[in-house]
Structure 1
């Protein structure tokens, strides 16, 4: 276990004027509070905060952050309070310790929905002060280093969460070394067999090539010095097991096929020397085409800057090279932590001014937090954030030269949403490098993208399958939900107007506000849309607004009592209605006339003085149905999906809210139309007819048209008891080899 004086010495190495008294005070307080507590390994608990603090010294954090690391478990696991810490160490340290306590209580190892919501809280907690995140990452790293003392099931869960959230989050904050170690430790527990295999192969390779790394380092260094680049450093290393495994998986390669297991970094003093070194190396050794990337002119979103190239170098080894300045290397190594050392104009590095600007990594974090305000549900937010964490970028430009970083495989739709949500919602086309291109085109590095917009555009739901960014997916889902809600809201409004009108009332949206809690909705628009979808009865809304309203509907009995008379529809079907009725009474819908006379099928919501007929393609119990007032007081019943309803959109006064009102004794069949595309072969019609008969379904009409040499289209009007029986029929027919496609047809 690290000693306290060793921790102080570490801090003083990079910050000689560090507040030693604060560090000693924090250590003594944590030691007293944790007392005799033990970790799962049996070590004194104080060893954990000490090691977390030691990890942060490697990032050169200030003494306040080191003190927070020493205290980070005190509020959660001891009798310490926020007020006590504020009094002893100041409000700033107290706030950071409390923030870490809240994050610990989240317990991200949980089911997906809960994990998603907790990720929201995690990012919100660290958005105020990034030091909370740095301490949390150090805490997770030490826990992963000591994972062998945890139960096996818990090791797997924590490792999965580390791989999904914390490792990529560390990478997004620019701390690549920490990311690699978190990934490596997680890999050991998530896939131990693969870890052992890859590690063994790397060890064998290292033994075969003993001294090769040092040989290549020396040859590169001598070459640079000989060309006048003094003071350079060359560092080589063999890639880690998880990095190798991930490359094997992503590119479907065997270990023997990997040709760039070694990586080397060339560190120079000035920015312009990066390009000089690149020229020297490319002049001396052959370049692997397509493997050069300039992250100096276009830095990654986590502020990472470097030149990347792959060469067939010394000893004919294929090696990856990274060329950067010492200051760029500090950013690459410490990430966002490096920015804490260069605040308030403290950066004095000539020319290399990345540290003088706000961290792009922290800027990304703030933009991610802003996404919380868009109203996405927790799981969509988790998906969006994971996509953002794992993205491998391409860089594109707007016509005005603004740089937009996107994941590989991104489309112009992703680009449009990256510019602004409203730009994405109104996108109808795109020009890539001045040429009109399909919206499904994959963007490449350097593309200039111009988005064509239309004010009447609504993003199609199918776009969700095209885009790759979480932001675009979430925005498309949201726009689709709003469009559907708007559609159903318009229908619901017309239904409610008609229902209120029939009872002598006037419908007003304002009247719904006081009774929304009774209807189970938070917004008026949601309640009205629920009526349109058929989830909420218009009569229930009426009763909620007017509690004294009495429903005078009469339930129809299947009998031939006096007071009922028969009406024959234009199609020859017979139905019964009361001789006299009041608004809201039940009307019988058409049914076949049986030997004992007609058996009425009740439909709610119609006045007794009207005649009822069905649309040509029919409707069956279980369908959401709408009544349309025709001439001479005739009501036509349509399924809600019927295309014919669109022609009545501008005539809301003709819409009637109706419902099925059947009891268990109903013996009526109802008509529906299905369209079958059958293979033209002997016996196909017989197979289809037998299935229909086996399910006790009646064929009312059948027409057949040869649509191709091998296919025949059959339009079949069938009579079924209800929607469930119709669904069974369609499912059975789909299973037949002679049936290519089948669907229900609506007018």
Structure 2
């Protein structure tokens, strides 16, 4: 490919001018000069670098800065930081030079971004450690995370030029951490795009299928929206509202999630799009205005009472405010209508940055949900001393979920993560109340500590001075706060008990006339197969190991030689592993690969033709998963170094188990027709068939053995031709 430097120069300038055009409205003093200087510094530093796609590297920082301005709404400092975000890491430029030329705050943001780069190439704990560092920077300056999200969004948009294994890994990591983070910071548009791009690269068939279906229904949808909206527009104008109405399709990923969750087809998803009414009203009358519009909407269309969501009275933790209702249209389909003000809409689209823009106008009296969330993050980071992977897991469990609203007996509102329990609520009130809680009264009824909270519950915690946390509490404490306090107590308790156990062992050794040396301690650990001295002493103290079992036999030199310690056994295993050797290059799966130790994962039952990857397990060799497997995201984002590229060879001798689901109208002889097609026409063996018929409609599941995806597809097409069959689809058994 011949590169024309002049054409490239023009393209770079075009991107740069576009960036300035978007930044212009908020530029002050010599902001434009600073941006120009940052652009020139970056251009010079990256001049000999190219991206995987072959384009000049400078286009990446320019694109990240563009996203920061246009889609997140950040200002000059962030533009400068975005333009320079890869300079310190990838080129000769030092952080001190950045600080000298662009000031402290830009340098601090770039330092934060440099800390969290290179998430791709390390093993598990290194990766989780990077995530942890990134969240630590959140407590310093949230702009670090916002620019990182812009960086990730551009990487996802240009993922097509990356090799397949990198695509899977980066996409999964995005889904595991960055999409929920965007959601939490209120960046709904970015979150949806990240999810859609994840789907595009991990399950491209489904992605294309839904995209095509959305495209095919576009004209009909637009006409429907026009008809639905026109009486509303007329009435809103009549009542003197300044407003804008938008109709936008739901994201591809959220449509797929709905199809899977409710077990329905694309045609049965009723709310493929949402109608949004955006009001231009002063902040002090927003709430009343939104409810007036709700009243107008429900004058024309019948609402579904179960689907009313009022996020204006109690905004979501990420600052999202809106009134949602689902109404029945004149054509008999349900439509979601979202009602909000211009201010609320900007916060919903641009999240955190927009949220600060409106900060000065009276909203600072009450701490916003978003700030409370960031304070919670800080709190978590300070109190959490578990290992990095555990920390990531807890972090995701606590901070990326929906909330549940509950009240104290005095009517004070507490917001906890969804699935939180009465025990979590106790710790939310006060650590000491949590430590001594024995149960709770919810709406005057007695419930155990494991009771899961529901919205609107009023909870009184019952305590006792004698109560102490136990190991089993970790089974139903979900919030980070409760879990870290319980773990802290259990650790301290274990330490004290271990100390008592140590004294018991010392007395016992004195009684046996055995010296208290580290060599003898090692013999005891080996004998009882315990890894750590503290664990050994603790087991003695609680009676799990009877002190009387520490006897002469433990130290008898004859018997000692016959035992092999756990450490030696481990290193022996490692040697065996080394000799067997598993190549991390392409694993080709077929009947000739029996010498490679691989198993088909039962969570997603891949069959030849499926897009797959291998995962090196600790005990079972390599497990083959579908890239669309429910576990794929977690495996690829947390254990990237154990992912093995895999693909099928052409082969028809082997058969694989797959599940298909059939729905339709019941009739005599139907089962006979189905089984005939399965066993006669395509020579497929069935493992099981279950059909459930109710009120003339049947729903069945069949487990069959097939050669590959095209074999399965043929079978599905033939079954669809059977009279009365309405739906045939594969399911993950």
Fold equivalence (TM over 0.5): yes
Deviations 1:579-610 (A, max 9, x none): xxxxxxxxxxxxxxxxxxxxxxxxxxxxxxxx
Matches within 5 A, 1:278-293: 278-293=294-309
| Cα distance in 2 for residues equivalent to 1:359 and 1:532 | 49
Per the TM alignment, residue 174 of structure 1 is displaced from its structure 2 partner at its CA by 0.9
| Cα distance in 2 for residues equivalent to 1:389 and 1:482 | 27
Q: Which residue of 1 aligns with 2:253?
A: 242
User: Of 317, 324, 333, which residue of structure 2 is paired with 1:308?
Assistant: 324
More helix by share: 2
The yes-or-no answer on 1:374 pairing with 2:387 is: no
| Cα distance in 2 for residues equivalent to 1:115 and 1:220 | 51
User: Of 532, 537, 546, which residue of structure 2 is paired with 1:532?
Assistant: 537
The yes-or-no answer on 1:72 pairing with 2:88 is: no
The yes-or-no answer on 1:364 pairing with 2:357 is: no
Matches within 5 A, 1:488-527: 488-497=498-507, 499=509
CA contact (8 A) 1:411 1:443 kept: yes
Deviations 1:173-228 (A, max 9, x none): 111111111111111112222212222222233244342223323332223223x1
Per the TM alignment, residue 484 of structure 1 is displaced from its structure 2 partner at its CA by 4.2
Per the TM alignment, residue 328 of structure 1 is displaced from its structure 2 partner at its CA by 1.2
Per the TM alignment, residue 314 of structure 1 is displaced from its structure 2 partner at its CA by 4.6
| Cα distance in 2 for residues equivalent to 1:122 and 1:404 | 28
Per the TM alignment, residue 129 of structure 1 is displaced from its structure 2 partner at its CA by 0.8
Matches within 5 A, 1:530-679: 530-533=535-538, 624-627=545-548, 659=554, 661=556, 663=558
Deviations 1:378-436 (A, max 9, x none): 22211111112431222111223332223333321232233344433322101112322
Aligned length, in residue pairs: 534
Deviations 1:324-359 (A, max 9, x none): 11111111111111144356xxx34xxxx4467655
Per the TM alignment, residue 500 of structure 1 is displaced from its structure 2 partner at its CA by 5.8
User: Of 103, 121, 131, which residue of structure 1 is paired with 2:116?
Assistant: 103
CA contact (8 A) 1:234 1:267 kept: yes
The yes-or-no answer on 1:158 pairing with 2:170 is: yes
CA contact (8 A) 1:625 1:658 kept: no
Q: Quick one: structure 1 residues 396 and 108, their matched pair in 2 at CA, closer, same or farther if it must change by over 3 Å?
A: farther
Per the TM alignment, residue 121 of structure 1 is displaced from its structure 2 partner at its CA by 0.9
Q: Which residue of 1 aligns with 2:243?
A: 232
Q: Secondary structure at the match of 1:209?
A: helix
Q: Secondary structure at the match of 1:104?
A: coil
The yes-or-no answer on 1:391 pairing with 2:404 is: no
Q: Which residue of 1 aligns with 2:676?
A: none
Matches within 5 A, 1:1-150: 1=11, 2-15=14-27, 19-58=31-70, 59-105=72-118, 107=119, 110-150=122-162
Per the TM alignment, residue 258 of structure 1 is displaced from its structure 2 partner at its CA by 1.6
Q: Tell me which structure has the larger Cα radius of gyration.
A: 1
Q: Secondary structure at the match of 2:452?
A: coil
| Cα distance in 1 for residues equivalent to 2:408 and 2:145 | 33
Q: Quick one: structure 1 residues 660 and 400, their matched pair in 2 at CA, closer, same or farther if it must change by over 3 Å?
A: farther
| Cα distance in 1 for residues equivalent to 2:107 and 2:384 | 31
Q: Secondary structure at the match of 1:3?
A: helix
Q: Secondary structure at the match of 1:449?
A: strand
Per the TM alignment, residue 453 of structure 1 is displaced from its structure 2 partner at its CA by 1.9
| Cα distance in 1 for residues equivalent to 2:394 and 2:430 | 16
Deviations 1:655-707 (A, max 9, x none): x998464845999xxxxxxxxxxxxxxxxxxxxxxxxxxxxxxxxxxxxxxxx
Q: Quick one: structure 1 residues 657 and 63, their matched pair in 2 at CA, closer, same or farther if it must change by over 3 Å?
A: farther
Q: Which residue of 2 aligns with 1:443?
A: 453
CA contact (8 A) 1:411 1:467 kept: yes
The yes-or-no answer on 1:254 pairing with 2:259 is: no
Q: Secondary structure at the match of 1:316?
A: coil
Deviations 1:458-490 (A, max 9, x none): 333334333444554455455445444443432
| Cα distance in 1 for residues equivalent to 2:470 and 2:49 | 58
User: Of 278, 282, 287, which residue of structure 2 is paired with 1:267?
Assistant: 278
Q: Quick one: structure 1 residues 6 and 203, their matched pair in 2 at CA, closer, same or farther if it must change by over 3 Å?
A: closer
CA contact (8 A) 2:315 2:369 kept: no
| Cα distance in 1 for residues equivalent to 2:447 and 2:547 | 43
RMSD in angstroms over aligned alpha carbons? 3.4
Per the TM alignment, residue 323 of structure 1 is displaced from its structure 2 partner at its CA by 1.2
Q: Quick one: structure 1 residues 476 and 256, their matched pair in 2 at CA, closer, same or farther if it must change by over 3 Å?
A: farther
| Cα distance in 1 for residues equivalent to 2:265 and 2:474 | 34
Q: Quick one: structure 1 residues 331 and 437, their matched pair in 2 at CA, closer, same or farther if it must change by over 3 Å?
A: same
Deviations 1:18-76 (A, max 9, x none): 71111111111111111121111111110001011111111221111111111111101
Q: Quick one: structure 1 residues 207 and 464, their matched pair in 2 at CA, closer, same or farther if it must change by over 3 Å?
A: farther
Q: Which residue of 1 aligns with 2:335?
A: 319
Greater shift after overlay, 444-453 or 39-48? 444-453
Q: Secondary structure at the match of 1:328?
A: helix
Q: Quick one: structure 1 residues 665 and 121, their matched pair in 2 at CA, closer, same or farther if it must change by over 3 Å?
A: closer
Q: Which has the higher contact order (CA 8 A, sep 6+)?
A: 2
Per the TM alignment, residue 360 of structure 1 is displaced from its structure 2 partner at its CA by 3.0
Q: Which residue of 2 aligns with 1:688?
A: none
Q: Which residue of 1 aligns with 2:417?
A: 407
CA contact (8 A) 1:429 1:439 kept: yes
| Cα distance in 1 for residues equivalent to 2:153 and 2:290 | 33
Q: Which residue of 2 aligns with 1:689?
A: none
Per the TM alignment, residue 265 of structure 1 is displaced from its structure 2 partner at its CA by 1.4
CA contact (8 A) 1:391 1:407 kept: yes
| Cα distance in 1 for residues equivalent to 2:64 and 2:141 | 18
Q: Quick one: structure 1 residues 626 and 161, their matched pair in 2 at CA, closer, same or farther if it must change by over 3 Å?
A: same
CA contact (8 A) 2:380 2:480 kept: no
5+ residue gaps, structure 1, are 521-525, 537-614, 616-622, 628-636, 639-655, 668-747
CA contact (8 A) 1:11 1:18 kept: no
| Cα distance in 2 for residues equivalent to 1:438 and 1:191 | 43
Q: Quick one: structure 1 residues 229 and 438, their matched pair in 2 at CA, closer, same or farther if it must change by over 3 Å?
A: farther
